[in-house]
Chains A and B, each alone.
Chain A
Amino acid sequence: MSQSPQRLRVRKLNHCYRDTSVLKDVSFELKTGEILALLGPNGSGKSTLLKRVAGILPAPRPHGQSQSILYYGLDVEAKPHSWRASRIAYVGPEFISAPYSFPLTAEEAVFLGRSSLNRGIFSLGSRAVHLAVADAMRRCGCWEWRARDLASLSGGERQLVGLARAIAQGASLLLLDEALSKMDLNHQVRVGQLLKDLAAQDYSIVLVSHDLNLASEWAESALLMNQGRVVAQGAISDVLTEAHLAELYPGCGFQVRPSPVSGAPKIYFPQK
């Protein structure tokens, strides 16, 4: 898989819900080993963009000729669902908020991540699958709760299970939509370190978050969206500027200063 460093190339993506256009000619690229923060106000099209890339939202018909989602040059939307799922994993807010009407242990939920990989009828008891599940859960620090029912886990704990499921899925492009939002500081630090480790192993990660200060700590690049359009893309310190923030969140008067510890740009609220 070393054809090109561009793992994902999205070109001129458009999407409408009924008459409302939520994505307007969105283009961006994601390198192998890159952590990209996808930022923007509510309703800017971040989640829709991720769901299109993950194949959860079907491509509109008729398919615009010019728009495409390419994974190492291959058209994602023309490939079968299982092909996509073994390369692209998505963890969204639905995983946290679902009612879970049926008993499902954390370990079984992570096992579900193998849905597109498990071929044989005996893979339920297969040692390789068991090891993959256990490894993913250990990396996310949720192995201790493997026997607990998903419905009894807190939001942050479920998010760790969701992340473990994405890793167990065998995909190396992770799309995380508000997937760290409910973790306590302890877990945020741990998961941030995990994301950096994964990136060092050539995973690529897209991180949607409203917590700009958290995102700037882990991501090296950022994509700024507003009203379905890309406002800016580049290194996080070039994108997270007072000028851009004034455009995205008008009237808030945010100030940006580098963190004294890590040097990453941080947002400060204006004086009262």
Chain B
Amino acid sequence: MAIVSRRKIYALALIACGVSFALALRLGAVSNLTWNEIVQLRLPRAVLAGAVGMGLAVAGAALQALFANPLCEPYTLGISSGAALGSVIGISLGSWGLVWGLAPPAFLGALVFAGVLYFFALRPSFGNVSLLLMGVLLGFFGTSLVTVWLALSDTNGLQSVMSWLWGDFSRARIHGAVLALVLNLGLTFLIILRWRELDALLTGEEGAASLGIDVPAARRGLILLTSLVIGVCVSGAGMIGFVGLLVPHWCRRWVGSLHLALLPLAAIVGATVMIVADMVARVVARPNELPVGVVTALIGVPAFWLILFKRNLPMQEQVR
């Protein structure tokens, strides 16, 4: 528990976050924007990307501890799909479906899908592999319904499909972006307040119970909080995978697995990674724009493989 070196890591992460934020304002499809145009076009995007990256990384870290499974994250567990489904249904049903570029019904979708997952995860026969497969199935189910719904209800259906299923910050408006940032900061703080429960859950369900944690209550509270965070993220930017998976693992390597140290760093690094990913998505194929989820997936898939093979977790679990 070397506190001093931790401070250096936080400082470095904050500096990186600031630099990437400044670069995100500077770089884009067009190089000679006025200050006003930057504030109108690029500032909301960068703020939203930071808010979403922070939320996804914190939710990923919490879900990994919650299910004691290093492959968990909003995307692999299908909760993001639920939120996307809620968003598109809400948007097509009424004007209340989109406020300042955010879609409130995303919360409902995330809660419903997380509820289904929670219901199954409670059964004692449900191991880590089954949980993950269940999440993948839920994800497929959700994204298929999103596609069907948009094809049937939206005039420019396929384009919307791209933006919801692969992530897109172009809908960002400054009010919505700031609101998302405030909400995610608040929810992150509430999750950090539950650091004791998350820490104890690292030793498994029985371990946590023996350490004096009310496991069912902790799970309910944390599922609710993470679902709300995912709702904020998806409502603003659609589904973006792998940030919630990889950032917590990177951060654990630097500051360990105890959540009072891990979660704040994951929040900062998550924001940085997402701002950079969005910048790459905007710049790399100028004047076209890549969906940001493609960028995170291209980095994330090989890294996911590495974790899978290095830790070899699913195999161990089957034996147990």
Interface residues of A (CB under 8 A from B): 51, 54-56, 80-86, 89-90, 92, 94-95, 97-99, 101-105, 107-109, 111-113, 115-116, 118, 121, 124-125, 130, 169
B69/A112 in contact, CB under 8 A: no
Partner of A99 from the list B65, B261, B316 (CB cut-off 8 Å) is B316
> Cβ of B196: which chain A residues have Cβ within 8 Å of it?
115-116, 118
For A90, give the chain B residue with the smallest CB separation: B210
Shortest Cβ distance from B218 into chain A, in angstroms? 10
Contacts of B252 in A (CB 8 A): 102-103
Decide yes or no whether B202 CB sits under 8 A from chain A: yes
Residues of B296-317 at the interface with A, using a CB-CB cut-off of 8 Å, are: 311, 313, 316-317
CB distance from B54 to the nearest CB of A (A): 19
* B258/A95 in contact, CB under 8 A: no
B204 touches A107 (CB 8 A): no
Rounded to whole Å, the gap between the CB of A157 and the closest CB of chain B is: 16
Bound complex: CA A56 to CA B70 (Å): 24
Whether A107 touches B1, Cβ cut-off 8 Å, given contacts A81-B212, A81-B213, A112-B200, is yes
Is there contact, CB below 8 Å, between B316 and A112? no
Judged by a CB distance under 8 angstroms, whether B253 is at the interface is: yes
A115 touching B212 by the CB < 8 A rule? yes
Given A98-B203, A101-B70, A102-B202 in contact, is the A125-B1 Cβ separation under 8 Å?
A: yes
How many whole Å from A162's CB to the nearest CB in chain B? 10
Q: Looking at the complex, which one of A94, A99, A103, A113 makes contact with B211 (CB distance below 8 Å)? A: A113
A125 & B3 in contact (Cβ 8 Å cutoff): yes
Least CB distance from B134 to A in Å reads 18
- Please name all residues of chain A whose beta carbon is closer than 8 Å to the beta carbon of B256 when the two chains form the complex: 103-105, 108
In the bound complex, CA of A84 to CA of B212 (Å): 7
- The answer on a CB contact under 8 Å between A94 and B204 is yes
Residue B260, interface by CB 8 Å: yes
Are A102 and B212 closer than 8 Å at their CB atoms? no
Instruction: Return A107 CB to nearest CB of chain B, in Å.
Output: 7
CA distance A102 to B257 in the complex (A): 7
What's the least CB distance linking B202 to chain A, in Å? 6
Given the interface pairs A84-B212, A116-B211, A124-B261, the reply to whether A101 lies near B68 with Cβ below 8 Å is yes
Asked if B253 contacts A92 (CB within 8 A), the reply is: no
Q: Give Cα distance in the complex from A80 to B68, angstroms.
A: 24
Q: Is B209 interfacial (CB 8 A cutoff)?
A: yes
CA distance A85 to B3 in the complex (A): 28
**Residues A54 and B210 in contact, CB atoms below 8 Å apart:** yes
By the criterion CB–CB under 8 Å, are A99 and B313 in contact? yes
Q: Mark B169-208, 1 if CB is under 8 A from A, else 0.
A: 0000000000000000000000001011101101110111
B320 part of interface (Cβ distance < 8 Å): yes
CB < 8 Å: which of B206, B208, B313 contacts A101? B313
Minimum Cβ distance to chain A for residue B6 (Å): 9
Chain B's closest residue to A102 (CB) is: B257
Inter-chain contact A124/B260, CB cutoff 8 Å:
yes
Q: Pick the contact of B210: A89, A104, A105, A109 (CB < 8 A).
A: A89
Nearest CB of A to B142, in Å: 26
- Asked if residues A112 and B202 are in contact (CB atoms below 8 Å), the reply is yes
- State how many angstroms separate the Cβ of A134 from the closest Cβ of chain B: 11
Tell me whether A121 and B313 are in contact in the complex, defined as CB-CB below 8 angstroms, given that A115-B211, A116-B211 are known contacts.
Answer: no
